[in-house]
Chain A
Amino acid sequence: MSDRNRFGDGSGRMTRRAMLRGAGVAVALPFLESWVRPFARAAGGIAGPPLRMAIVTVTGGTVLESWKLPGGGPLGKLPSILRPLDFARNDLLILTGLSHTGASDNLNGHENCGYKHLTGAARVGKIGGRPYAGISVDQAAARVAGRETFLPSIEMGLTNHETPFSFRSVDQPAPFEADPRMIFDRMFRGRQPVVPNWKRRGESRDAEAGRTSPPTDPYDRSVLDAVRAEARALRNRLDSSDRQKLDQYLDALRASETRIDRLEARLRVEALDVKDPGPSRLVDIRIPSEMGKPSFHHYRELIHRDPEKHADYIRIMADLLVLALQTDTTRVVTLAAGADDAFFPGVVTVGYEYHCHTLEHQGNADRPENADPIAREACRQIHAWYTEFFAEMVARLKAIDEGGSTLLDNTMLLYTSYMSDGGHGTIDYPALLVGKAQGTLRTGRQIDFPAKTPMSNLFVEMLERMGAGGPGFGDSLTSPNRAFEGRLPGLA
């Protein structure tokens, strides 16, 4: 990675002066006020690794009869799309019947599905061209879990303006970053990747170090103190309008300080990890130089045309996801994989069409038997192909030892799609949970819920496990099809 993005001194130590250069970003982030103390709690107060949440959402719906088993119960031979996950069969929990049935205003089929996908909002649409939906499950989780990590959440992949899956609030979509270099820089700007030593972090002396160590750069702190003192003196001489502006400035300054404090504490703990890291090896990220030449935009075009490039890209993004969770850079990641506009020659080995969007439409109908079977089989092949890479990612998570448990054990991973089928469907989504979520999910099964059970019920379950539970989420309590008091019974 480029040195220009390094804020620290190479040892994982971040200087206050360096952090101030990033203050503009810091001010814009949520959770600043309450960040530092929860982080200290995470560093010392919780024994063992934390629970992470990741969502991998593939494009274009799926072929349901090849995604789920004919009936619920213990998993035997997996359906063909999920078969690459056979090695992890006991870590899988297939959920069927989950649906979005909210209303939609002024949206095309893809937008409708994209807005509802992770928000479960009762109503989605556009007003004056601006989207509205509701906070998405990943962002709701990040509001809590994100207090304790370098980044609250990461949203990455190939989704576009039509399908902004993540919403920070009703009308604020969270942008997805497609360029793996940008993601890596964002994750490790000013710090170096290190495997957390969760055992040692659980010991109180590290937490104490996080709370009480002196700031890393007394000079910078003195500058901030001097600015604050001058501002207070100035305040007494201002009228009310200017005082308000000054107060806003001071608020921003305070927020920056809080973030700096939090990062300093975090980096002090990570500096100890550098000397005494956790037992696993860091995921080795090698981003091919061609992904940036002449620009990522150019490479993105290649991804759409060439499944070999597409495969390379998904693997890199999956590695970044694993690395983000492994290094506790964030505990919430959403990865959008695949592209409706992509071509899949070689992946599709039947018929004569390889364009995903064409296949999605031709491969769907009012009933599967009325669809074009060649296109439907092609869609099945595409989704089995996606699952191969997802399975590779699961294998990596499963192979990472976090000191007696694996990263997969400590992750709640949702594998899904933003449409239930290629015909812009919202009924009976593909929903596969992978990982036992620290023993809070009983896996190795398929559970069939009644048709049109709100997908939001699943999000409630996920949020509760992330410590962000509430009385409801999305349309879990308001849907005409509400069920189980907004919950999903039997997951544990």
Chain B
Amino acid sequence: MSRPVFVAVGYDGLRLLSEDGRSWGSPMLGQEGEVLRSAAVGNGRVVAVGTRGGDQVLTASVDGVKWTRSRREGGYGGYLRAVQFDGRRFLGLGGDPGAVGAANPYVLISDDGVNWEGPHRIGGKFLIRRIAFGDGIYVGVGDRGRRAWSRDAIHWEDVPDVKPLETLIDIAHGAGVFVGVGLHGLRWRTLDGRKWLEPIRGEEGEHLNSIVWTGDRFVAVGLGATYLSADGAKWERRPNREAPTTVCHHEGIFVGTKWKGRLQASRDGIVWDAVARVDRHIEAVAAGWIGSDRS
């Protein structure tokens, strides 16, 4: 029996779960100093990854109650920064964010969030921070303007001659197009990860930190404005207030988080309601189906 789940993760191994994005359960904590940086939901389970000191922390649960936690030595250079679900597998993304031009980025792969394969070194000077998957292609965006594409998430080809000023923070796939977002309202789309169409600039200071595909539109949430588009080409700008810095979407509900420990919910990505608060910082939110018969 599967059920919808929203998950929030953060400092000191914080994990919080909700079925509707508004009513949240009691916070669960891990070890002091453990920071869960990212979460993903897929294959009927929740997976969260992060770091403690120089080590990688990986944790997974099929019911949101009992968690399997593992630790991998990261050697203060193999920090695990993100986990994403591609519809089939979990992909862990990491490297050394502090090493300028020598991030040594890698990908970890797992079906269940417990047993991980890798690290697969993916080349390049800078981290890939976020990946979107669609039409058999992975498109990744990362530091200093890095944009790359892959067919298997292991072997990547970089877009040449990228400019740091065109760095994208997040990326989503829908309606046959990938759309990345960045500083000052930057939106940029590609069909295949190789050829990128003309970027669209927004207003100064309206940084877009998250973009999601809702099934019928892209919703990019930023500081002061939310941008909406069905195709990534034509956009509607809607002023927002108290928008979160990180957003997920599931079954018509947007959930986001912002400092410190605040959880917010929205029906449209524009008007946000404060729904919960905990005393630890929440780094990431994710949503999907948990249980045995849905992925």
**A residues engaging B (CB < 8 A)?**
305-308, 345-347, 349-353, 355, 357-358, 361-362, 365, 369-375, 377
Q: A352-B81, A362-B144 are in contact. List 12 more A-B contacts (CB 8 A).
A: A306-B260, A307-B260, A346-B258, A347-B259, A350-B245, A352-B37, A355-B97, A362-B97, A362-B143, A372-B164, A373-B182, A373-B183
Q: Which among A345, A357, A372 is the interface contact of B281 at CB below 8 angstroms?
A: A345
Shortest distance between the CB of B9 and any CB in chain A (Å) = 13
**With an 8 A cutoff between CB atoms, is B15 at the interface?**
no
1/0 contact trace for B186-221 toward A, CB 8 Å? 000000000000000000000101000000000000
Number of interface residues of B (CB under 8 A): 27
Using A307-B259, A352-B82, A374-B167 as known contacts, say yes or no to A346 and B281 having CB atoms under 8 A apart: yes
Contacts of A349 in B (CB 8 A): 207, 209, 223, 245, 258-259
- B183 touching A377, Cβ below 8 Å: yes
Nearest B-chain residue to A377, judged by Cβ: B183
Nearest B-chain residue to A80, judged by Cβ: B205
Tell me the B94-152 residues at the A interface (CB within 8 Å): 97-98, 100, 126, 129, 143-144
- B82 touching A355, Cβ below 8 Å: no
Contacts of B281 in A (CB 8 A): 306, 345-346
Contacts of B207 in A (CB 8 A): 349-350, 377
CA distance A346 to B245 in the complex (A): 9
Contacts of B82 in A (CB 8 A): 352
Using A349-B207, A355-B98, A358-B97 as known contacts, say yes or no to A374 and B183 having CB atoms under 8 A apart: yes
Nearest B-chain residue to A350, judged by Cβ: B207
Contacts of A371 in B (CB 8 A): 144, 164
Nearest B-chain residue to A423, judged by Cβ: B100
CA distance A403 to B183 in the complex (A): 49
1/0 contact trace for B280-295 toward A, CB 8 Å? 0101000000000000
- A350 touching B260, Cβ below 8 Å: no
Using A350-B183, A352-B129, A374-B169 as known contacts, say yes or no to A361 and B98 having CB atoms under 8 A apart: yes
Q: Which among A307, A350, A352, A370 is the interface contact of B164 at CB below 8 angstroms?
A: A370
Contacts of B81 in A (CB 8 A): 352
CA distance A355 to B98 in the complex (A): 9
Shortest distance between the CB of B180 and any CB in chain A (Å) = 12
Contacts of B11 in A (CB 8 A): 305
Contacts of B245 in A (CB 8 A): 349-350
CA distance A345 to B246 in the complex (A): 12
Shortest distance between the CB of B251 and any CB in chain A (Å) = 26
Closest A-B pairs by Cβ, 5 of them:
A346-B259, A358-B98, A372-B144, A350-B207, A345-B281
**With an 8 A cutoff between CB atoms, is B165 at the interface?**
yes
- A362 touching B100, Cβ below 8 Å: yes
Q: Which among B37, B100, B260 is the interface contact of A361 at CB below 8 angstroms?
A: B100
- A351 touching B98, Cβ below 8 Å: no
Contacts of A355 in B (CB 8 A): 97-98
Shortest distance between the CB of B264 and any CB in chain A (Å) = 14
Using A361-B98, A362-B97 as known contacts, say yes or no to A351 and B164 having CB atoms under 8 A apart: no
Using A355-B98, A361-B98, A362-B97 as known contacts, say yes or no to A369 and B183 having CB atoms under 8 A apart: no
Q: Which among B163, B209, B258, B260 is the interface contact of A351 at CB below 8 angstroms?
A: B209
Contacts of A358 in B (CB 8 A): 97-98
- B98 touching A373, Cβ below 8 Å: no
A-B contact pairs, 15 of them (CB 8 A): A308-B260, A345-B260, A346-B259, A346-B281, A349-B245, A350-B209, A351-B169, A352-B169, A357-B98, A358-B97, A358-B98, A370-B144, A372-B167, A374-B167, A374-B169
Contacts of A357 in B (CB 8 A): 98
Contacts of B283 in A (CB 8 A): 345
- B167 touching A373, Cβ below 8 Å: yes
Q: Which among B143, B182, B259 is the interface contact of A345 at CB below 8 angstroms?
A: B259
CA distance A385 to B281 in the complex (A): 18
Shortest distance between the CB of B145 and any CB in chain A (Å) = 8
Contacts of B163 in A (CB 8 A): 369
- B143 touching A374, Cβ below 8 Å: yes
CA distance A358 to B283 in the complex (A): 17
CA distance A355 to B258 in the complex (A): 17
CA distance A345 to B244 in the complex (A): 13
- A369 touching B260, Cβ below 8 Å: no
Tell me the B141-181 residues at the A interface (CB within 8 Å): 143-144, 163-165, 167, 169
- B165 touching A369, Cβ below 8 Å: yes
Shortest distance between the CB of A100 and any CB in chain B (Å) = 23
Tell me the B245-270 residues at the A interface (CB within 8 Å): 245, 258-260
- B97 touching A346, Cβ below 8 Å: no
CA distance A487 to B182 in the complex (A): 45
Contacts of B169 in A (CB 8 A): 350-352, 374
Nearest A-chain residue to B166, judged by Cβ: A373
Contacts of A346 in B (CB 8 A): 258-260, 281
CA distance A173 to B281 in the complex (A): 38
CA distance A418 to B163 in the complex (A): 30
Nearest A-chain residue to B33, judged by Cβ: A305
Shortest distance between the CB of B63 and any CB in chain A (Å) = 28
Shortest distance between the CB of A423 and any CB in chain B (Å) = 9
Nearest A-chain residue to B96, judged by Cβ: A358
CA distance A180 to B260 in the complex (A): 25
Which of A305, A346, A353, A373 has the most chain B CB atoms closer than 10 A to its own CB?
A373
Which of B11, B82, B144 has the most chain A CB atoms closer than 10 A to its own CB?
B144
CA distance A346 to B169 in the complex (A): 17
CA distance A395 to B259 in the complex (A): 26
Contacts of A370 in B (CB 8 A): 144, 164
Nearest B-chain residue to A351, judged by Cβ: B169
CA distance A345 to B260 in the complex (A): 8
CA distance A92 to B182 in the complex (A): 34
CA distance A370 to B129 in the complex (A): 19
- A369 touching B209, Cβ below 8 Å: no
Contacts of A372 in B (CB 8 A): 126, 143-144, 164, 167
CA distance A370 to B81 in the complex (A): 23
Shortest distance between the CB of A203 and any CB in chain B (Å) = 53
CA distance A347 to B245 in the complex (A): 11
